[in-house]
Amino acid sequence: FAYGFKFLNNWGKYGDFSYGIYIYHFPIIQLVVSLNLFHKFNPFLVAFSIIITVFFLAFLSWNLLEKRFLKRV
């Protein structure tokens, strides 16, 4: 199933966002839960905005931090 979508096969050319997703997803979700946003707004919209925010932070993390440190190794 994962290899059936041709546009996803070359995702790594944009960078390795997996660590950023791993690091940032939990604090963002906890912040949203503590602010009670799932009850105040549409839960699907909140979940979608969490996904977008986490991917954006992972992208920034890769390009501004991780890639630079990996070049030094």
pLDDT at 70: 82
DSSP letter string, 5-73: -GGGTTGGGG---HHHHHHHHHHHHHHHHHTTHHHHS-HHHHHHHHHHHHHHHHHHHIIIIIHHHHHH-
- In this prediction, the residues of the chain whose per-residue pLDDT falls under 70 are 1-3, 7-8, 10-14
Question: Do 19 and 64 contact (CB within 8 A), yes or no?
Answer: no
Question: What is the pTM (predicted TM-score) of this model?
Answer: 0.79
Tokens representing residue 28 in the block: 């963002």
**In 3D, which of 13, 18, 10 has the Cα closest to residue 58?**
18
Helix (H) or strand (E) run with residue 50 in it:
helix 43-61
